[in-house]
Amino acid sequence: MNPVLKPEQLPLRFVLSGLAAAVLLISTVLVGMYLGEQTRERFHNVDRSWQTYTEHAAKRGELLSQIRAHLGYGGIIHNFKNYVLRKEPPYLTRLNIQLKNFHATVQEYKKSGASEYELGKLGIIEKTIRTYEEKISVAKQAAREDWPPSKTDLLVKVDDTKAISAMLALDKYLEIKRLEAARSISEAVVEGNRLVKTGFFFVGVLAVVATMLYGMFFLLLRKLRQTITKLSNELDDRRAAELVAKKFQRAVDQSPATIIITDTLQKIEYVNKKFCELTGYQLNEVLGQTPKFLQSGDISVAAYADISAQLQGNKKWQGTFRNLKKDGSSYWVETVILPLRDDTGKITHFIGLGEDITEHKKAREHILRAQKMEAVGLLASGVAHDFNNVLTTILGNVHLARLDAPAQGEFARELEQIEIAAKRARHLVGQILAFARQQPGKATGLPVGELIQEILRLIRASTQPNIKLDYDVEDDQLAVYADPTRLHQVLMNLCVNATEAIGTARGTVLVKAYRQEATDGNQPQVIISVTDDGPGIPPELQDDVFTPFFTTKRAGKGTGLGLSVVASHVNEMGGKITLESKPPGGCQFLLTMPEAKTGPTEKPVIEDLTSSGGKIMLIDDEPEVMATCASILRRLNYQVEAFDDPRKALEIFTKAPEQFDLIITDLVMPEISGQEVCEAARQLRPDCPIIVYSAYQPVGLELGNLKFARFIEKPFEPELLAKTVHSLLQPNDAEK
């Protein structure tokens, strides 16, 4: 049995050693507790700094990136300026959506615990965006009224320098916050390292007394140091990864192309913002679906199978789709589909990149349509030219026949009807030429009653017998001031639309015209109404009837350009057009035009323009026109030498230019034109009077520099030819 030593029995050195050991042990415990507390505090600082860093980087940084995206390329300012410059409704639609998202993002930022400084900068940005919102109405008005770019830019220009400065200040503020958090982490790490060194020092001093204790403590501190170093490295890696991810996300979100990523079963895993904006679908609506919901049916199932087989064979596919949007409308997209592979080369996903080419398709269709119209115009111009030659012959010979016929009787009336029909044909040919030239005519006073009767006569032949065409003109002297060709086209379009609206049912198209007295100092107006008793136009469609390409007709039955052209012509002539329709009670278009004061139309009186003589050279490659004009001139007591070959005529004129008192020549002739005849004749005899006539006056014909020169447009009446010749050969009599 071992004896138990009492304390007083222990040697003093053992007691002192024990006390020392106890003191050292207590010191070790106290130092350990101190170091443990300090280490815990440093860990707490690291955790707190990390939370601060995460809050700014992940939350407010993301919100600020969203705000920046709204203000950057493809954002609010970009779409606003595009709408101002191009006046295209899609930019306005995207602008309104982005404004809504912008305000939502700003509110979320404010609720995330933003400081007073951040709130102030956000207020500056919001103020600028509200200024843009206030300018939207001006931009809409500019688009409606087609203001010039300089006026529009002056009225919608917004100074966004303060908003840009505020955005930069917020970026800098958040960066400072991030740096402060990182600095706190770094300082905590440095302080931890210092504490670790201190701990190692105490472990060395007290190793003799508590080797195991200090050994375990040493391992703990070393592990702590490794953890802190690893954490610091992970922070750096995470920061770099976040920057790369943000750049990639911004690039994808701001891409002008649609991006779709699917798995190997073609189930959608990602779409970018451009896809959502173009199709109208939200991300959560398409995730997990296949792209079949976009298919319009234009491409067969077999063709899609070929595309899938090509992609499965590690090949890309490129082509064009006509897809459907969420609202059922279609769009064209040029698409490239690529397989995505992992490190082993195995296909894991497919990515589709698409470019919206809808506007390009429309532009191409417009160009083709314009080319067709140009060809039709050239054909119409040629046909009208030939008709005018025939009408010149008819009018001239009818005039000669009326001079020889008795003033009264059946024969005289028949000749008068032929002359009226020829003049009517001349008017129709003039409309064909106006269409072929595609340029506005000169505004003049037009008798409304005659114009309405003429249009109804034109469309009566193509109108179904179940439709009655009627008119009601308040006053036979009622006239409007307008371009004849454009007003004719406007009323023709409205009347044809009215007959088409009635269709196969029995109905009536009524065209009325009446005067609207002046009010508030304005000039009197003439109201022309076109009314049908068809089914009418639904209220929800009435605001769109004058919009280009809007139509309710079946595919292939209309382009949707008729009423938009009508509205354009009416506005250019200084009038206005409105629609009144209450289905099923029919439809009424009201056309308001400025009134023109015209007197009663007098029938021209054939004057006695018989001359005292004179020799005229007549040149025309059309024998009938040449013979008719020669007969008229000879009837007026002129000597006429007629030529159907301009070369032969110039040979005769060159030999004796003084023997001819006047040259009359057609403008359009083979080999030598009328203008070349004029130039050659004036070189031989500068004072020789010349008359040029043609079915139309082309651009480039200049007679203003040729003294004693006149131009007559075919078909002309004999009186006009006689007066023109008389004015050149007897100028003193013409002045009387």
The three-class DSSP label of residue 666 is strand
**Pair 611, 632: CB distance under 8 Å:** no
**Pair 600, 719: CB distance under 8 Å:** no
Give the pLDDT confidence score for residue 547 in this predicted structure.
72
Helices 116-145/76-86 angle, 10° precision: 10
Average pLDDT over residues 476-503: 86
Give the pLDDT confidence score for residue 510 in this predicted structure.
93
Instruction: Give residues with Cβ within 8 angstroms of 191, minimum separation 6.
Output: 38, 42, 45
Task: Give the confidence band of 648 by pLDDT, cuts at 50, 70, 90.
Answer: very high
The string of pLDDT tens digits covering residues 496-548 is 888 988 888 889 999 999 998 877 667 889 999 999 988 888 887 877 787 76
The string of pLDDT tens digits covering residues 397-441 is 887 877 777 777 777 777 777 877 777 677 667 666 665 555 555
Task: Give the confidence band of 558 by pLDDT, cuts at 50, 70, 90.
Answer: very low
Average pLDDT over residues 260-269: 88
Q: Which residue has the higher pLDDT, 417 or 263?
A: 263
N-to-C CA span, the chain? 168
Task: Give the confidence band of 604 by pLDDT, cuts at 50, 70, 90.
Answer: very low
Tell whether the model's pLDDT for residue 11 goes beyond 70: no
State how far the Cα of 299 lies from the Cα of 321, in Å rounded to an integer.
Answer: 8
Task: Using CA atoms of 499, 501, 502, 505 in order, give the dihedral in degrees to the nearest 10.
Answer: 130
Q: Which residue has the higher pLDDT, 147 or 46?
A: 147
What CATH number matches the domain at 258-356, 3.30.450.20, 3.40.50.300, 3.40.50.720, 3.40.640.10?
3.30.450.20
State how far the Cα of 721 lies from the Cα of 713, in Å rounded to an integer.
Answer: 10
State how far the Cα of 563 lies from the Cα of 542, in Å rounded to an integer.
Answer: 12
Give the pLDDT confidence score for residue 665 in this predicted structure.
93
Strand arrangement, sheet containing 662-666: 639-643, 615-619, 662-666, 690-694, 709-713
State how far the Cα of 49 lies from the Cα of 180, in Å rounded to an integer.
Answer: 8
Tell whether the model's pLDDT for residue 607 goes beyond 60: no
Q: Find, among 716, 729, 704, 688, the residue nearest to 620 by Cα.
A: 716
**Pair 166, 71: CB distance under 8 Å:** no
Q: How far is CA 736 from the centre of its chain?
A: 59
Tell me what the pLDDT averaged over the chain comes to: 78
**Pair 591, 505: CB distance under 8 Å:** no
Q: Which residue has the higher pLDDT, 357 or 245?
A: 357
Parse the chain into domains and list their residue ranges: 12-239, 258-356, 442-600, 615-735
Average pLDDT over residues 635-657: 92
**Pair 624, 389: CB distance under 8 Å:** yes
The three-class DSSP label of residue 599 is coil
Instruction: Give residues with Cβ within 8 angstroms of 669, minimum separation 6.
Output: 619, 620, 621, 646
Give the pLDDT confidence score for residue 472 in this predicted structure.
92
Residue type, 6: K
Q: Judge: domain 442-600, CATH 3.30.565.10.
A: yes
Give the pLDDT confidence score for residue 528 in this predicted structure.
93
Give the pLDDT confidence score for residue 629 in this predicted structure.
92
The string of pLDDT tens digits covering residues 347-384 is 888 888 888 888 887 777 767 776 776 676 667 667 77
Top-level class of domain 615-735: alpha beta
Task: Give the confidence band of 42 by pLDDT, cuts at 50, 70, 90.
Answer: low
Tell whether the model's pLDDT for residue 636 goes beyond 50: yes
Tell whether the model's pLDDT for residue 603 goes beyond 50: no
Residue 220 structure tokens: 């703990």
State how far the Cα of 643 lies from the Cα of 665, in Å rounded to an integer.
Answer: 9
State how far the Cα of 34 lies from the Cα of 40, in Å rounded to an integer.
Answer: 10
State how far the Cα of 214 lies from the Cα of 218, in Å rounded to an integer.
Answer: 6
Tell whether the model's pLDDT for residue 173 goes beyond 60: yes
Average pLDDT over residues 644-650: 93
Q: What is the pairing mode between strands 507-516 and 467-473?
A: parallel
Q: What is the pairing mode between strands 444-447 and 467-473?
A: unpaired
Tell whether the model's pLDDT for residue 312 goes beyond 90: no
The string of pLDDT tens digits covering residues 190-200 is 776 676 677 66
Task: Using CA atoms of 204, 206, 209, 213 in order, give the dihedral in degrees to the nearest 10.
Answer: -80
